[in-house]
Structure 1
Amino acid sequence: MVVDDHPLLREGVAAVLDAQEDIVLVGEASNGHEAIAGYRRWRPDVTLMDLQMPEMGGLEAITAIIAEFPEARIVILTTYAGDVQAMRALKAGALGYLLKSSLRRELISTIHDVHLGRRYLQPEIASAIALGALDDALSPREIEVLQLAASGNSNKRIAHALNLSEETVKTHMKSILSKLRVIDRTHAVAVAAKRGIIIL
């Protein structure tokens, strides 16, 4: 089953799979809700799942599918190479993480690996996870602060939105800059978005 909100990507995957004698595309879905319903209906051996989708994203769908079907084998298809995003997906139960830019080269081998119960991570994702594991993780509150900063909010507005003092927001921001090893909030937002800590 392929789950992605872009019809062209689903068509592209279908075309690649159509050329394979040992793989059959049993169904398609365009968001997390449809993915859960589709999984219940088709029980695919392998599910290819996008992360960013309307209504319900891939992470929530993976969590729901794995809770109901612990044996589900799910591969993330994404444009995001971020280590934090990959870790969240793997912790939710995904067995593979594949960048959409690599589909033509690696899709079939990834499906075969995951079907056999093996994990599949591209080398650049694996090394990003390894390097990211050495950093201090941002706390949930720091992520909230940074997500609001990414939307252009001042410390005062962030404080108001989170019911904190402005001084507390400044302390969180200082900690964020230190943990991400950056010098200002613009750089912090860019690094956090690239790593998948926040969504722009």
Structure 2
Amino acid sequence: MSAQATRLESLFLLVRDGSSAQIRENAAEKLGEVAVRSSEACASILQQLRPLIVDKEWDIRVAASKCLDVVARSLRHERENVADLFALVSRTLEASCTALNLQTVDINAVVREGAPLLRSGGEEYQYATNLTEEERRIHAVKQRRLLLRRLSGAGGPIWKTREDSLTKQLLPRLNQDRMCGGAARLR
């Protein structure tokens, strides 16, 4: 195994298993620089980089995109290299991912079986226009809760405000004070 191959393996290992995002990004930038210098290494790096772009860890995806950024910036002025790069990537993409080929996708099945990503129930538009400042604040809190509930898909309360917890703590005391004050007034 050549020193170049060992270096590439080490850089890919750092991109995948680096202890911090900065280490991963630096390794990815070095991979991009190696890809720029060598066309043989570029094809190999891009093929090994493809699974990292869709990795489940965010830091790995960011690092992989940094590598692609370095390669793309270097190829910006070389049109024939860009065409070769796109041809290489499209061939490997078609071979490994036929599900994403738009020519083979059944649009009717997607429409029939697909689920909406985000949909409004209309509650956020139900409010009066002449609201007091307190009513506006309450309405804004309600809108945030509706949005968070829709985004998370949860049925119950998403989060509680500081006012909610204070009300929960103070309400029994207020009721007690009113009851005691009312009893004192009756006497």
TM-score by length of 1: 0.30
Q: Which structure's relative contact order is higher, taking Cα pairs within 8 Å and 6+ residues apart?
A: 1
TM-score by length of 2: 0.32
More strand by share: 1
